[in-house]
Amino acid sequence: MSVLLVVSALIVVLAIVYQKWLYKYIGSDNRKKYFAELLKDFPKLYNPKTKPMKQKLFESLIKTKEEICVLEIGIGSGGNFDFYPESKCRLIANEPNQYFHQILSDNVAKYPQIILSRISSSSADNLQDIGDATIDAVISTVVLCSVPNVANTLDAILRVLKPGGKFYYMEHELDPKFTWWRKLQEMIDFFGIWTFLFDGCHASRTTGNLIKDSGLLSVDQDRFYLNPVGFWGLYIIKPHVYGVAMKTAIKSEKSLDL
Ligand SMILES: C[S@@+](CC[C@H](N)C(=O)[O-])C[C@H]1O[C@@H](n2cnc3c(N)ncnc32)[C@H](O)[C@@H]1O
């Protein structure tokens, strides 16, 4: 027992020392560059595995006929453009990592109905360069794991949405079941190495519940487990939550039937 305690304590100390060293010698800019390079093709891996859920999630958005203003937070290389409205829409692309910007601009050019108004570089947890009640739809896929504070991000989304505006999300989260998997996710976050490797990503956030507890209303939400075959990292982010929330209490006309 005491040997186990000593070994555990040693691991904790080593992990802390190791991280301080890593953060000191591999600067933030280099990590951003490496992360953009690593993740630029992420949608090619993620979209085939989530296609049925994304189709269901974005059904009402795809069918939108009037010109709307969409804000996608942490947009990366723009992996959701296939699920944008079929008719014209204006896009504010939020992405603080500048190394994604060129890839994003090249990608959006393939979708003539999407008018890129501008790229916002603010953090999603304040969206300081976006006005109050100016956005019809906010999109977030695999981003709330990385923002510094989820509650502040949800407050910012609530602020920028027009009354009746919708928040579409698909996020990985802590396994809601008390499995050894959940323990592993908690351990990974405790040691922080996952967060370091994947630009602030956390494996053990309770994102679904945080959205339900936010000021967003009419939350239509469900969960699924991602099929991780093909990339080891996806095993850690298997448990997923997705849904649509609204700024007002009006129940959405057509439920997602999640
Ligand atoms: C796993 S990638 C997902 C990219 C994209 N949403 C997709 O589904 O392909 C996470 C994204 O969140 C962005 N991100 C990290 N911290 C952020 C923050 N504080 N505010 C906004 N975006 C952030 C990263 O730069 C990255 O583009």
| CA 180 to ligand 1 centroid distance, Å | 27
Q: What is the mean pLDDT of residues 224-244?
A: 86
Q: What does residue 71 show for φ and ψ, rounded to 5 degrees?
A: -115, 120
Domains and CATH numbers, the chain: 27-246 (3.40.50.150)
pLDDT band for position 94 (50/70/90)?
very high
Measured distance CA(42)–CA(159) in Å, rounded: 29
> What are the helix (H) ranges across 136-243?
150-160, 180-191, 193-197, 207-213, 233-236
**What is the pLDDT at residue 194?**
83
75 CB within 6 A, ligand 1 = yes
Tell me the per-residue pLDDT of 22-62, one tens digit each, with 9 for 90 and over. Answer: 666 666 788 888 889 988 999 999 999 999 999 999 999 99
Task: Work out the percent of the chain whose per-residue pLDDT is above 90.
Answer: 67
Predicted local distance difference test score (pLDDT) of residue 257 = 45
Task: Give the pLDDT score at 52.
Answer: 97
Q: Which residue from 232, 243, 238 is spatially nearest to 173, judged by alpha carbons?
A: 238
Q: Which two tokens stand for residue 213?
A: 């507890």
On the question of pLDDT at 10 being above 70, the answer is: no
Choice from 31, 143, 197, 198 to test ligand 1 binding pocket (greatest atom count within 8 A of CB): 143
User: Residue 1 and residue 7: Cα distance in Å, rounded?
Assistant: 10
170 CA: nearest ligand 1 atom: 8
Query: In terms of pLDDT, which residue wins out, 31 or 223?
Result: 223
Query: H-helix or E-strand containing 172?
Result: strand 161-172
Q: Which of 244, 241, 84 is nearest to 167 (CA)?
A: 244
At 131-157, the pLDDT tens digits run 999 999 999 999 999 999 999 999 999
Distance CA 111, CA 86 (A): 10
Reported pTM: 0.89
Mean pLDDT on 160-177 = 96
Q: In this structure, are residues 170 and 240 in contact, taking their beta carbons and an 8 Å threshold?
A: yes
For ligand 1, whether the C-beta of 97 sits within 6 Å is yes
Q: Which residues contact 12 (CB under 8 A, 6 or more apart)?
A: 191
